Amino acid sequence: MEIAVICLAAFFTAVLTFFSGFGLGTILTPVFAIFFPIDIAIALTGVVHFSNNLFKIALVGKNTDKGVLLRFGIPAILASFAGAWLLLKITVLPTLLQYELLGRVFEVTPVKLIIALLLIVFSILEISPSFQKVQFGKDKLVWGGILSGFFGGLSGIQGAIRSAFLIKSGLSKEAYIATGVVIACLVDFTRLSVYASRFTSANLHENLTLLISATLSAIAGAYFGKRLLKKVTLRRIQLIVAVMLFLISIALGSGLV
């Protein structure tokens, strides 16, 4: 059952994230959280996200803007170390709230609440008309890299901020997607190196089938998304993902997942 749920989520969100620049890690993390503790869910999602991005680099990597990659990617890598380190620290903090509903006990922990709040903020930003008008020129790319890398390391949520800066930096749609994928891959590699200590407690060897299945599903979604690249508008996909983020954040923040 868990393999089917995670694979379906990986496939459909991979299709969405191919256009929006974010979505796979953000949406897949709560799905993993149904079956694993949130910190382990973030780490396992990172493996799928990284593998999927490697595949997407093979599809569109030739369109990467090297100048934007350097100015945004290097600060993102450094900041992701700090974010990942902070995640490991807050996962050991005590539970904030515990309640019973329909015979089940639910817990609201600091890490779940923080990630839920981030999801709400990013979903609101994505559908806010005023935010859509904000212009981040290339002179702001370093700050965009720092913010994206930090929140990517902390929660796996890096794409929303990255997209906000890259989509306004004068890149073509193809260069925007390719550059975002390469940056995401670099951040994933960095944060996974910090998360490595969590893989032992996650019994990674016992969940290889799940990880491989989810990765292949995400790759299939990315391939399907590539075929739709010329037919779908970025704005439409961004709105869909934003609504999904908001709903997921409510469930996560209330301790339901």
Tens digit of pLDDT for each residue in 191-222? 888 877 666 655 566 667 777 787 788 778 77
Residues 69-82 have a mean pLDDT of 90
Q: What is the pLDDT of residue 236?
A: 64
How many domains in the chain?
1
Parallel/antiparallel/unpaired status of strands 97-101 and 104-108: antiparallel
Q: What are the φ and ψ backbone dihedral angles of 106, each rounded to 5 degrees?
A: -115, 145
Q: What is the mean pLDDT of the chain?
A: 76
Per-residue pLDDT band for 126 (boundaries 50, 70, 90) equals low
Percent of the chain clearing pLDDT 70 (strictly above): 74
| pLDDT attached to residue 79 | 93
Least confident of 21-35, 90-104, 230-244: 230-244
The per-residue pLDDT for range 130-179, each reduced to its tens digit, is: 665 665 666 778 888 898 889 888 877 777 678 777 776 777 777 888 88
pLDDT above 80 for 68: yes
According to the model, what pLDDT value does residue 130 have?
66
What's residue 204's pLDDT? 60
- Please report the pLDDT score of residue 78 as a whole number: 92
- 80 pLDDT more than 80: yes
pTM: 0.72
- Look at residue 179 in the predicted model and tell me its pLDDT: 85
Q: What is the mean pLDDT of residues 33-54?
A: 77
CA dihedral 69, 24, 20, 91 (to 10 degrees): -70
Q: How far is Cα 234 from Cα 11, in angstroms, rounded to an integer? A: 18
Q: State the residue range of the domain holding 241.
A: 2-253
229 pLDDT more than 60: no
